[in-house]
Amino acid sequence: MVAKRIIPCLDVADGRVVKGVNFVGLRDAGDPVELACRYDAAGADELVFLDIAASHQGRTTLVDLVRHTAEAVTIPFTVGGGIGSVDGITELLRAGADKVSLNSSAVRTPDLVTAGARRFGAQCIVVAIDARRRQLPAGAAPAWDVYVKGGRENTGLDAVAWARQVVALGAGEILLTSMDGDGTQAGYDLGLTRAVVEAVEVPVIASGGAGCIDHIAAALSEGKAAAALLASLLHDGVLTVEEIKADLLNRGLVLRPPAPPLRPPAPLPPARPL
Q: In 3-state terms, what secondary structure has residue 182?
A: coil
- Residue 111 among the catalytic residues: no
- Between 78 and 232, name the residue whose CB sits nearer to other proteins: 78
CA Rg value for the chain: 18
CB of 3 to other proteins, least distance (A): 5
Dihedral over alpha carbons 36, 40, 46, 48 (to 10 degrees): -10
- Under rule CB under 8 A, residue 265 binds other proteins: no
Q: Which one among 33, 79, 106, 124 touches other proteins, defined by CB under 8 A?
A: 124
Shortest approach of other proteins to residue 1 CB, angstroms?
8
Whole-angstrom distance between the N-terminal and C-terminal Cα of the chain? Answer: 43
Touching other proteins, residues 162-221 (CB under 8 A) = 172-173, 201-204
Classify residue 158 as left (phi > 0), alpha (psi -120 to 50) or beta.
Answer: beta
Contact with other proteins (CB under 8 A): which of 23, 39, 120, 188? 120
- Exactly one of 11, 31, 145, 182 is catalytic; name it: 11
DSSP annotation of 10 reads: E
Stretch that binds other proteins, among 71-79, 128-136, 152-160, 240-248 (CB under 8 A): 71-79
The answer to whether 76 and 99 have CB atoms below 8 angstroms apart is: yes
Is position 87 an interface residue for other proteins (rule: CB under 8 A)?
no
CA torsion sign for 210, 32, 239, 123 is: positive
Binding interface with other proteins (CB under 8 A): 2-5, 40, 45, 70-71, 74-76, 93-98, 120-124, 172-173, 201-204, 224, 226-227, 255-257
